Structure 1
Amino acid sequence: MNRKDLAPGVASRRHAMLGTGVLAAAAGPAAAQVPAAPAPLRVASIGGFHVGGEVRTLTGLPPREVRLTATGPVRRIEVNGDYMVGQMYVQYVKLAAPSARHPLMLWHGGGLSGACWEDTPDGRPGWQSFFLRAGHDVYVSDAFERGRASWPRYPEILPDEPVFRSLFEAWRTFRFGPPDGFNLDPAKRRPYPEARFPVAALENLGRGAIPRWASSDAFTQRAYAAYLARMTEPSVIVVHSQGVAFALRAALEAPEKVAAIVAVEGSGAPDPATVDMARMRNIPLLMVWGDFIDQDPWPAYRRAVDRFAAALTAAGGKVDLMELPARGIRGNTHMIMHDDNSEEIAGLIQGWIAAQGLMKG
């Protein structure tokens, strides 16, 4: 996107960030917090919880006769009844002596779960480990209808069928390579020049893919609101893709619960005309973009996020842009946290977090 497409405040801030190297300068000391040979983490506690959801009652459905185990008897299952639906799951790791002022949340994108933050498809440590070693208590969540959050019956509760993502669709949508570069044989895959996703590990990414629903947004937004409400202090949210729109709306609804947002390749944002943008003016926002953004459907996705950023700047908010190719960092795909330079990008994000005064000392 050209600078002229942004509001003056966004354009000038973008120029300042890219032209003066503010992020690079800030990233140096913070990135150095993560040692080359990591020492064991000093962890105070590990746990998890489900949050949100509501009771939905089903009536008028016939019972089912099901053999629940291969050698067990056929059982008559009553389908009607009261069900918990719409909940999400959160796992946390709390450090013995965190150096961050606030917890850090990792929110995943569409067709993924919180597992995408734990490790990369080719086996390197993920951003969960990075930000723990950078001094944050880290919370990793599975949104409604993903991972350990579970999903409800359809069409009785969710009216449509789930959407599944094929390996080819991941290849195309996540900008790993041209459509005709996809091949089931890893040796024959042809990624974009300089593309940094480890395409030989595409099957491992596919193993972590989770069906999604097009009709679940309202459930998901309510669950994220309940998640923030449960926290006793504001959190830094690092969020990817589909999750960006949920994070921005959650911040608009409960700004006192959000210390900052890092929006990694957002695929959408609330319409500024429908919300009070001033509610977010005290929440720093960093937008991170990789390479090959001119590939469909990303120009439309980016316009929606840039429109939100321009409106937030006009409302007095603080918006920074980390456009990686403009910083000389080429080849990042939509799955930035899985690319072969994922720790480098995490270090830049950590530097920005530190520059906002969100680390102790």
Structure 2
Amino acid sequence: MASGKRENEVQGHGMGDQIEQVDAMVLQYQNQKLIQQLEAQKAEMHALEGKFKDLRDKQISYDNTLIAVNKMWNQLVDDLVLFGVRAGGELRCLQALEHEDFSIDDALASCPPEEIFLCRLLRSGYVDKNRGSISVKAVQEALSLRHSAIVDLMKHLQEAIAARLARNELLASALHGNLSSEDAIVQLRNHNGYLREVISNMREAIDVVHLKHNRFTDEISCYIDNHSREQSEIKHLSGDLEESMAELEESRRKLVILQMQKHGPSFINASIGIAVNGSISLDKPADKTMSWRELKDSVDEAKGSNFLSSVLSPFLTFSNAPSLLPTTQGAILAVINAHYAFEKPYQSHLRLKQRPHAY
């Protein structure tokens, strides 16, 4: 009975191990499937990011083109309005001189990103809240309204020019004696009143233009002030950055010195790359038979650098004996070679190689 129980227990353990192996294989298979799905999603995400970047670049190009076209369009409207005033037209068209600034994005905050172009084109930030987008009918109505406004300005200018030509013909007839004296006097008086009205209208138009000029001047002054302030902030931040870099360099040097003082000469071969910004390769072994006097002379020549003196000072105090261990000799010579490779790449290195060694 006991042996049967043992066999049952062994079979039970075997079945449990097989179930665990099957579970592990299932989990591994599911993990592989999940990894494949994750990789596919990553690829799709990268593709969508590329498409989004392309669309964003196109939108920026469209927006820049639209801003340039609107500037020229607004200039055309201003010219038509001012020409109409000079021709003796009414002042009702002066309201057309007030244009919206299409380079300001705050007025377009209500527009979704994909419809900013249409919002700028329609000179409106209105979006249908029920549909969440601009309808085709609204686009057509806005374009029709803008087109009709330009047509009205053109008609107003044509009417003003026609009225001016008719007045000039009557004045020419009066001056050439084609009219009676009474009619000529009436025409001159009428023309005098007309000129007074034209002058008054031109003064009002000039006042409007002056207001726009003052507004633009204030905006330019604000921009110049902001630019100067930003430049001063950049200069201040640059100074802070330089100070932080200097403090970081000093802290790095102190850290190297403290680590070498703590670990001794065994640390220098690992930290010498850090001491010279990680740009020096110290594969060449030091001469183990160099005498203390020659090594001391090399150290004295390299004491021109404060950093090198601070690095070597713990080893000079630590190794004051005439005969140094080979590892200590190699460590000090490695510091010297690293210093010359970092600051004086060739001259001092050649002097060290030409100096005779003591055997």
| Bigger helix share | 2
Fold match (TM-score > 0.5): no
TM-score bracket for this pair, using the shorter chain length? under 0.3
